[in-house]
Amino acid sequence: MANATLSAPQPIQIHRPVPAPAVQGEWSVEAIQALLDKPLMDLLFEAQTVHRQHWPAGDIELATLLSVKTGGCPENCGYCPQAAEFDTGVKAEKLMEVEEVVRAAQAAKDAGATRFCMGAAWRAPKDRDIEKVSALIGAVKGLGLQTCATLGMLESHQAQALRDAGLDYYNHNLDTAPEYYTDVVSTRAYQDRLDTLQNVRNAGISVCCGGIVGMGEAPVHRAGLIAQLANLQPYPESVPINSLVRVPGTPLADSKPIDPLDFVRMIAVARITMPKARVRLSAGRQQMGEAVQALCFMAGANSIFYGDKLLVTGNPDVDADVQLLAKLGLNGHRTTTTTLDGHSHSA
């Protein structure tokens, strides 16, 4: 595990901008770096143009995230307050009961959310855990909400069981570029994440997959993350872009925050390279302020987590989000619900 204080990255030499690929699956790190290096106004214009070709103007998906099993995770992800080896004040808890989750899901729906995401701090769930989560999925689906889960690494049969229970989305982030991954976590390999994503895709579940910036990575690593995501076949239906929430007690607590406009650039490039994905303005919104969030929506973000907490870290409260969307003339998106036999999607 690397220390939070990292040596200065070497300068990135970029030559001529590389044209966008004619077909999906051809994005090079160099091409993405060229996009990130564009003048900001040009980049925003391009991203908004792409966005309006594929999505209704002003449409923002509202999703709520609940930690259904908190703390005690054996992984050592340097950003995560739920890792057992870090002293962050987060206590290990058991999996929530169905009735508790249903109450939270109903409250989220009443507040306007259309997707309900359930997170559990496991390295990899056991089959008996999958059975219990399947009951949660069925109960939340019964409320007419889209369902998403993030439970750690999955075997193929586990992914199929979640699909049979009615799961719409599975979240499993790549976090960063493969070259920087071991600076962030050492308890599993990058390929482990890719294998889980393939198991999810093979089961017919839509993929929610993104990453985190502001972890001390170099610009080339940000380009590398987008390249990994955009070149997945197919790319994720939902792409959360997170700004590191620096939690005391984690190895990355003292990381230098990302420049807000560099974060906006990440949203814009995600939109350009994955035009049909829901690009989610995710963790870190509480520190951004309204102006930066507005630029992120201009850059093509069309989904937010909605509620006062993201697993165990803070998030803008519902009233603040309602007021911000109203100021910007944006509309919370209400998704057509699916049945247990159907299959819907986004994250």
Catalytic residue among 73, 188, 265, 278: 73
Active site residue 77: yes
Catalytic residue among 115, 148, 222, 265: 148
DSSP letters spanning 281-299: E-TTGGGTHHHHHHHHHHT
Alpha-carbon span 270 to 206, nearest angstrom: 18
Catalytic residue among 163, 246, 280, 285: 280
Q: Which residue in 61, 16, 2, 31 sits closest to 226, CA to CA?
A: 31
Catalytic residue among 77, 188, 246, 278: 77
Spatial neighbors of 106 by CB under 8 A, at least 6 apart, are 143
> How far is residue 189 CA from its own chain's centroid?
19
Catalytic residue among 115, 117, 188, 265: 117
Tell me the H-state helices in 146-189.
Answer: 156-164
SS3 call for 30: helix
* β-pairing verdict for 206-208 and 211-213: unpaired
Cα end-to-end distance, the chain, whole Å: 29
Catalytic residue among 115, 163, 188, 208: 208
Catalytic residue among 80, 222, 246, 278: 80
Active site residue 80: yes
Active site residue 208: yes
Active site residue 209: no
Radius of gyration of the chain (CA): 19
Phi, psi of 305 (to 5 degrees): -80, 135
Residues serving a catalytic function are: 73, 77, 80, 117, 148, 208, 280
